Amino acid sequence: MFSPGSSVTIEVPASSANLGPGFDSIGLGLGITDTVQATIGGDGLHISVEGHGTGAVPTDGTHLVWRSALAMWQNLGIEPPTDLILHCRNAIPHSRGLGSSAAAIVAGMATALALVRERIDNPASLALLSNLAGQSEGHPDNASASVYGGLTVSWADDEGAGWRTVRPQLHPEVTSAVLLPEATLATDTARAALGESVSLSAAASTAGRAALLVHALTQEPELLLPATRDWLHQEPRRASYEQSMGVVDQLRARGLAATISGAGPAVLVLGAGEFALGADELPVGWQVLRPGIATSGVRVVSHSAPVTV
């Protein structure tokens, strides 16, 4: 199944989730990419990391990319290779709300799939990747955006078959910016701040804005400001990212559609066309990123078989 010397290189984009009212369901691919290169060979498992997470993430069998590859091989009923060299180049900031963990999961699963199937861009493979990665994360919004790119809307299948995803066509005038603080926030910490129930009025208001959000992103981006208002998760977590919420409040007062990106603390700003935004408007240490929207998702950059003589 695995030939020594065979190699695959995978790229996977960052993502922003929720976009205000689309909690755990709406995602957007961003133009920041992580790269994973896997080569069959060596002696056992060798993992190296450069970029974000260097010196902080493990380089043994607990590494998330490797564990995700194992999950895919297990799903396929394939014994994993005993010898593998794995190199991860991380451009996606960690613990900021830009889907770094989802990207790692998607990258690992895509690597595993690509090492046994030459193509991963067919609908069945993409659906498998999105579903398994969403199950691993516990929510599908970031994973689906990293798999497909662009705008994604995901939901739990009524038959219990996992996560399903559609990819509405994003309006060509929709633009984005990411405001990146120095502070980090673990997703588990952010989710722990949420209660088990919400009021009927909050649920109804958020449902209406989530529906409007899809319309604004695909048909009428001038409505992005009202469409990105949320009642479910941002206010309950304000204490977890108080400075970020201050930035959101300030920008929304200016008429900009600002939301917490995923679990935070980064801030996503959406617009209809270009909008002005300077670092001098932000707290000290914050950066303004203009990564653009990823129009495609995970992909195989290179795939090589061993050379025989």
- Residues placed in the known binding site for ATP: 93-103
To the nearest 10 degrees (0 to 180), the angle between helices 141-148 and 123-137 is 150
If you ran DSSP here, which 8-state letter would residue 87 be given?
A: E
Give the C-alpha distances (Å, rounded to integers) separating 181 from 34, 257, 260, 269: 20, 18, 12, 14
Dihedral of CA atoms 115, 79, 61, 121 in degrees, nearest 10, equals 30
- Give the annotated binding-site residues: 93-103
H or E element, residue 213: helix 200-218
Q: Residue type at 235?
A: E
Do the Cβ atoms of 29 and 297 come closer than 8 Å?
yes
In sequence order, what are the residues at sequence separation of 6 or more whose Cβ sits closer than 8 angstroms to the Cβ of residue 129?
106, 109, 110, 113, 120, 147, 298
